[in-house]
Structure 1
Amino acid sequence: MDSDHESDDRPPPQPSVPSQDPYVYTLQSGRQATSAKVCRDFVACVLNSVGQEELADVATLCTSELATNAFLHAEGDSVTLRVVIEPPRCRVLVYDASAELPTAARLPLGDRLYGRGLGLVAALADAWGTAEGDVAGRYAKGVWFELAVKEEGGHN
């Protein structure tokens, strides 16, 4: 029996049914000067891969702010980034080892180059906040933001 004949006996492939489960993507990064770029590139790649390209600009800016804060102010040698896509929202979390919770301060006076990050996240995201550390106990807290996702064709 040749292989062409065998393939004719197989049932036709069934179209995939989109999962109702959330899509979760995780990246662990060293706490380094390059962490913010690595994290924002990861978020852009995930959103572009699952049909949520229109969220990429805002999501990468907000991710960059959270990852930069973890690099500048957190403890430990790494951060974990988690992207959870569960319509109607996309939630991005950055976990770090510092137990100190961030606050969105008013814009700083003068020409200071820092202190604006969480204010930007608060202005651009649909919601933001803090979460308890990861279940493994490696990280003390997470800082997250959410953006609304489109429902139709939201995942591939």
Structure 2
Amino acid sequence: MSPRTAVTMPATDPVALPPPTAFAVTYARTTRPGAPLSEEDARRPGEARRQIAAWLPGRGLAPLVDDARQILSELVTNAFAHGSGPVAVRGLVLDSGALELRVYSDGLVGELCPRRAREDAQNGRGLWLVTALTDAWGVAADGRYVWCRLGGDAP
């Protein structure tokens, strides 16, 4: 697999996040699926950015803060916009020194892939950013979460 390739992870992938996970936060949803985001839900990506930025330096991963903030912003936004139920974010430092992030949400269906946004569109570029900023990313085989890896040794 080449870097920056989206792949599907098996539902029982070997990088399970054992409790307690070093970084774990769950956001309750206040917006009905398909409705415009409530102010509270619209603030969640910013909360995720601040939380990951506070967590990473204590793990020796300060150089990943900017990319991780951008990635989580995109993935949490997508989870609230296109999923249902609560949105959970999990982070794990792998043995290789890489960071794995996962964003869980019920109701993520269909193939998740970058799409071509119109030049004047205000959205539609998030997964291109995720592709550019990560070593690899994809969707769990059971569709429950989107994951990505960045930093550390190549997989």
Same topology, TM > 0.5 = yes
Equivalent residue number for residue 84 of structure 1? 92
- Give the residue type in structure 2 aligned to 1:28: T
Large movers: runs of 4+ above 6 Å:
none
Cα 1:132–1:41 shift into 2, 3 Å: farther
2 CA distance for matches of 1:101 and 1:48? 35
Q: CA deviation at 1:105?
A: 2.5
Compute the RMSD of aligned alpha carbons.
2.2
2 CA distance for matches of 1:146 and 1:69? 18
Q: Which has the higher contact order (CA 8 A, sep 6+)?
A: 2
Equivalent residue number for residue 25 of structure 2? 27
Corresponding residue SS for 1:122: helix
Which digits, 9 at most, give the CA deviation of each residue in 1:110-153, with x for residues without a partner? 210111111110111100001256xxxxxx61011110238xxx
Q: CA deviation at 1:25?
A: 1.7
Which digits, 9 at most, give the CA deviation of each residue in 1:66-111, with x for residues without a partner? 00001111112x1110001113211000000114145223431221
Cα 1:94–1:65 shift into 2, 3 Å: same
Instruction: Say whether the 8 Å CA contact 2:79–2:108 is kept in structure 1.
Output: no
Q: Unaligned stretches of 5+ in structure 2?
A: 1-17, 30-40
Corresponding residue SS for 2:42: coil
Instruction: Say whether the 8 Å CA contact 2:45–2:73 is kept in structure 1.
Output: yes
- Mapped pair 1:112 → 2:113: no
Higher CA-based Rg:
1
Q: TM-score, normalised by structure 1?
A: 0.71
Aligned residues: 123
Instruction: Say whether the 8 Å CA contact 1:79–1:96 is kept in structure 2.
Output: yes
2 CA distance for matches of 1:55 and 1:69? 21
1 CA distance for matches of 2:111 and 2:74? 12
Amino-acid identity (%):
34
1 CA distance for matches of 2:83 and 2:55? 25
